[in-house]
Structures are given as structure tokens and as C-alpha cells.
Amino acid sequence: MDAEQGRAPSWPAEWLRGAVGVCTLHVIAGGPTYGYAIANDLARAGLGPVKGGTLYPLLARLEEAGLVEVEWRAGDGGPGRKFYTLTEAGRLEHERQTSEWLDFTALTRTLITSRAAAGTIRKEPS
């Protein structure tokens, strides 16, 4: 894999599980692409290596939900590749998830950069 040029590649698995859906939709929104290329784009963005066992079940769910269209194209001298393109429903889902994810990350960012004591009810020291 020619990847992992970004930040530290080993984010906690539970963070990746939350982010990989919206990130994959975003990569596909950039134009028709296929599994291995998506994995590479995600790794290059700094998410670290995303295993086939994580990525392809996600792509299968997008396909079953009608969020992507698939088309088989010839590979460069190798086996054919399954290309994914967002459908109209997929485009709307991409917008929705992006907006929600931005709200969520803004919220967590605000919280963790604010003064810890503000507005919280603290247990009185006994």
C-alpha cells in the first residue's frame, strides 16, 4: 500500500468505525471509484490502513440501500474493478452525514477546549 502519509496511522478502532462511513461517502462523491482506491484515499488522508473486511461490508450496505450504483470496468492488466458512484439518494445522504458530522465534531471540539469546570455540577468534597 502506498499510504499513511498523513498523521499517526493508528487511531482508536471505535473512532474509525464512526468516521469511516461519512469519509467513504465523501471519497465516492469525488467521482466513480473502486474499493482498493477508496482504501488508499482514506489511508492517504491520514485515517490509517482500512482493512478490506471493514471497507467492503460498508460498500455492500451502501449498495443495498441504493446510495451507490455499481459498474464493473476492466482493470489495468489485472482483474476487473467494481466502480461505485453516488446515486441521488447517496448524494443527499452524503450531505446529511457531512452536516451532522461537522456539528458533532464542532460540539466535541468546543467541549474539550473549554474550561473543564464551567457549568458542571460537581460533587461536594466530603
Partner 1 sequence: MMLNTHTPHVEPDWAEAFLLELRVRGVSGRRIGAALAEVDAHCAEAGESAREAFGDPETYASALALPASPERLPSWRGELVSSAFGLGGMLTTLVGFGAWQTDTRVTVTTGAVATVGLVMAGSALIARYAEPLLRAVVRRWWVAGALAVVPMGLFVAVLVAGSQSLFTLPAVPTLAGGLLMLVVNTALALRERDTVDDPVVGPEGDSGPGSLEDGALMRGLARLGPWLFPLLTVLMAIPLLLV
Minimum gap (Å) between residue 119 Cβ and partner 1: 42
Question: Residues 21, 35, 46, 48: which binds partner 1 (CB under 8 A)?
Answer: 35
Sign of CA dihedral 53, 51, 107, 92: negative
Q: Provide DSSP, the chain.
A: -----SS-S---HHHHHHHHHHHHHHHHHTSSEEHHHHHHHHIIIII----HHHHHHHHHHHHHTTSEEEEEE--SSSS-EEEEEE-HHHHHHHHHHHHHHHHHHHHHHHHHHS-TTTT---PPP-
Minimum Å gap between C-beta 40 and partner 1 is: 9
Residue nearer to partner 1 on the CB measure, 11 or 36: 36
Here's the x/- map for partner 1, 45-84, by CB under 8 A: it reads as ------xxx--xx--xx--x-------x--x--xxxxx--
Q: How far is the CB of 60 from partner 1 (least distance, A)?
A: 5
Q: Which is nearer to partner 1, 31 or 78 (CB)?
A: 78
Q: Contact positions toward partner 1, by CB under 8 A?
A: 1, 34-36, 39, 51-53, 56-57, 60-61, 64, 72, 75, 78-82
